Amino acid sequence: QVQLGESGGGLVQTGGSLRLSCAASGRSFTNGAMGWFRQAPGKEREFVATIHRNGGSTYYADSVKGRFTISRDKAKNTVYLQMTSLKPEDTAVYYCAAGSGVITSTVRIGSAYNYWGQGTQVTVSS
């Protein structure tokens, strides 16, 4: 089993920044990817960003491209999501996800990820 623990959410004003962290513990895996999804009230969960564990290729939703940056610290088994120029529409619960079988064609699909964190709330006030 892999456990994912998120931190870094909070309340920020429009245009502000936040950095989310996701630390993985338990059974380690070297393939696949770790990433972030989000779910706003009344909406379906959506893909935000992900990074491959090998090679470090990154993928972003169009809505966050240029504003969010995903990165990783392999030694700490941790993934970060640096969020800048935040907008009220970024308000959501952000979930960390990890999957050993995630490949390029499935990075945006939630069901491709085996493990999920509890989520951290991000609120952007206008």
Over residues 75-112, the pLDDT tens digits come to 888 999 999 999 999 999 999 999 988 988 999 999 99
DSSP state letter for 32: S
Q: How confident is the model at residue 29 (pLDDT cuts 50, 70, 90)?
A: low
What mean pLDDT is predicted for residues 45-62?
94
Question: Dmax over Cα atoms in the chain, in whole Å?
Answer: 41
Residue 66: burial class (beta carbons within 10 Å; 0-12, 13-18, 19+): exposed
Q: Which residues are registered as beta bridge partners of 123?
A: 11
CA distances from 25 to 1, 49, 68, 76, 94 (A): 9, 20, 24, 9, 19
What mean pLDDT is predicted for residues 16-30?
88
Long-range contacts of residues 102-107, Cβ cutoff 8 Å, at least 24 apart: 102/32, 102/33, 102/35, 102/50, 102/52, 104/57, 104/59, 107/33, 107/35, 107/47, 107/50, 107/59
What mean pLDDT is predicted for residues 6-27?
95
Mean pLDDT (the chain, rounded): 94
Is pLDDT larger for residue 28 or for residue 76? 76
Element housing 35 (H / E): strand 33-39
Q: Is the pLDDT of residue 27 over 80?
A: no
Looking at residue 24, its pLDDT comes to 92
